Structure formats: C-alpha cells, structure tokens
Amino acid sequence: MTYVRETGECMMNTATTGLAAGMALGFAGYFGGFWAFLLVLVLGAAGLIVGLVVQGDLDLRTRKQRR
C-alpha cells in the first residue's frame, strides 16, 4: 500500500515493506537454501542502513567511538 504526502511524494508503509522483505527472504530460502537466505538477509540489512543514512534518519557520525 502506498499513500501520497502533501508534497506529492509517494511513500510505502512499514507493513508493505516488511511483507516485501519477508517474501524476498522466503523465496531465497526456498529456492537457494540457507546460505542464499543468509546472503539476502545480510545484504538487505546493509541496504537498510545505507538507505537510512542517505535519507537522513541515521547519522553515523554521532555514534560514540571506542577508545
């Protein structure tokens, strides 16, 4: 499901995004086995982090650095 913001921008809600991610993981696990499932899971998490950084919702510079 999508909705349109006042700016005209279309956005997917979290339920639709979760459904798409779950289906992708399910297909990878069914057709490719455990390692394909794991690869899709890791690359999906990396894509999520990159997307959040680009969108501005995650700022990695503010994270504490270990000494």
pLDDT for 14 equals 75
Residue-wise pLDDT tens digits, 3-56: 556 676 666 677 788 888 999 999 999 999 999 999 999 998 998 888 888 888
Judged by phi (left if over 0) then psi (alpha if -120 to 50, else beta), residue 8 lies in left
pLDDT for 64 equals 66
Q: Are 21 and 12 in contact (CB under 8 A)?
A: no
